Amino acid sequence: MVLPSLLKSCLQLSCVLRTPKAGFRSTTSGGLIIQSISNDIYQNLAVEDWIHDHVNLENRQVLFLWRNSPAVVIGRHQNPWQEQKNIKLARRRSGGGTVYHDLGNINLTFFTSRKKYERMENLKLVVKALKALRPQLDVHVTDRYDILLDRQYKISGTAAKLGRTTAYHHCTLLCNADKFVLSSVLKSPYKGLKSNATPSVPASVKNLFEEDPSLTYEVLLDAIADTYAMQHQIDNHITLINPADETVLPGINNKTKELRTWEWVYGKTPKFSVSTCFNMVYKDSVLDVKVDMDVKHGRIEVCNIYLPEQWLPPALCSELVKSLTGSKFCPNEATTLATTLLRLCPQDDELHSRWNLLCENVVTLM
C-alpha cells in the first residue's frame, strides 16, 4: 500500500473532522484508518484524547496507528516511582500497566461507541492479520487480553478507556523493539516504597522480527490496516495526520501541553509512602538514618527524618523536614530547598558538610 502525501491526507481528514462538535462529517456510517506522522508520545496520546472527547462514534469506528521515540508510558492509576527512571515518561488516561515504547513498537487504538466496545474482537483482528501474513505463526489471544507468540512470549499488551458514550481500546505490537532497554527501564530503582497503585506484571517478550525478519513495521502496519478495512467493509486507505495541526484538530496542542506537565505525569499518582533506612559515611564514621514520608498527589504530605542529635542540630533537621513538607516529591525541588536552607545555616564548614551529605542522600530517595 502506498501512503498518500501529507498535504492530501490532511485535506481529506479536514473534510471529515471539520469541527469538534460535528464529529465525522460523513453521510454514511463506516470506519476510518488514520496514522500519526509524529513520534512524540505526548502528541499521540493527545490525539487519542481528542478523538475520544470530540468525535461522534455512534455509527463509525476509527483505527489510529502510531509509534513513538523511546518512552515509558504508565497507566492512569500507576505510580511512576515504582516503574522506571532515566527515560521520557508519560501517563495515559487508560488503566493497566507500564509499557515501553520505541520505533520498533506499533501502537493500535480502536475507537468505537461504548456499546460496540469489544477488545477481544480487536485482538482477534490483529491475530488474523498476522496469520494472513504468515499462516505458520503460533499466535493467540489470552484471557488477560495479551497476544502470545509460541504460547509463551508476549508480543502485545492491552488497555482501555470507557467513556459515557465512547470508548477506546489500545494495544501494542512488538515488531523490533530494543528488548535490552525494555527490560532495564521497567525495573524500579526505588526502595522502601509502599503503594496501592496498579502494579506492572513482568512478562517474557519476543519481537516478531526475531521470528521472521520479513515482518517489518511497514509490512505489519499494512496487514493490520487491510484486515481492519476488510472486517469493517471500508476502503483500506490510510490517512496521515499531524497531531500538532490545530486546523484539523482544534485545541489539540492544549491537550498535548497538559500531558507533558508534572501535575499530570506525577501529580496524578495515587497516595504512597516511603519508609527506608540508609547509611551515611562521614570521615571515619558510619551513620544510620531513617526516613519516612507520605506522598499525596506527588507532594510530600508527612515527612520525618531520624538521625542522632549530636550529628546535626535538631533545629536544622526540623527546618529541612518543615521545608520538604508540602513540596513536590522531586529531586530538583528538594535540591533547591536544601540549597536555600544552607544559606541560613551558621558559617561552619563542618556543619555545612554534614548538611550537604544528608540532603544529597534524601534527594536520592526521589
Exposure string for 55-83, b = 16+ CB within 10 A, e = fewer = bebeebbbbbbbbbebbbbbbeebbbbbb
- Cell 521545608 maps to which residue? 323
All three cell numbers of 229, joined, read 478495512
With beta carbons less than 8 A apart as the criterion, state whether 106 and 221 touch. yes
pLDDT value at residue 84: 64
Q: Which three cell numbers stand for residue 121?
A: 474482537
3-class SS of residue 38: coil
| Residue 225 CB burial class (10 angstroms; 0-12, 13-18, ≥19) | buried
Predicted pLDDT at 9: 43
The pTM score is: 0.88
Phi/psi region, residue 23 (left: phi>0; alpha: psi -120 to 50; beta: rest), is: left
Taken in order of first residue, the domains within the chain and their CATH numbers are 31-266 (3.30.930.10), 272-365 (3.30.390.50)
pLDDT, tens digit only, all 366 positions of the chain: 444 444 444 444 544 444 333 333 443 467 899 999 999 999 999 999 999 999 999 889 999 999 999 999 999 999 998 876 678 999 999 998 899 999 999 999 999 999 999 999 999 999 999 999 999 999 999 999 999 999 999 999 999 999 999 999 999 999 999 999 988 877 766 677 888 888 777 789 999 999 999 999 999 999 999 999 999 999 999 999 999 999 999 999 999 999 999 999 999 999 999 999 999 998 888 899 999 999 999 999 999 999 988 888 888 889 999 999 999 999 999 999 988 888 877 778 888 898 889 999 999 888
Residue in the structure block whose three cell numbers are 550537604: 356
Instruction: Supply 49's cell numbers.
Output: 484524547
**Which residues on adjacent β-strands are paired with residue 107?**
66, 172
φ, ψ dihedrals at 100, nearest 5°? -90, 130
Q: How far is CA 170 from the centre of its chain?
A: 12
The amino acid at 334: A
State the cell numbers at 42: 505526548
Give the pLDDT score at 18. Answer: 41
If you write DSSP's letter for every residue of 139-206 in order, what string do you get?
Answer: EEE-TTS-EEETTTEEEE-EEEEE-SSEEEEEEEEESS--HHHHHHHTS----SEEE-SPPP----B-
What is the amino acid identity at position 144?
R
3-state helix, strand, coil in the chain (%, to 5): 35, 25, 40
Nearest to 142 by CA among 127, 160, 130: 127
- Closest by CA position to 91, among listed 145, 153, 49, 28: 49
Neighbours of 10 (CB within 10 A): 19
CA atoms within 13 A on the CB side of 109: 27
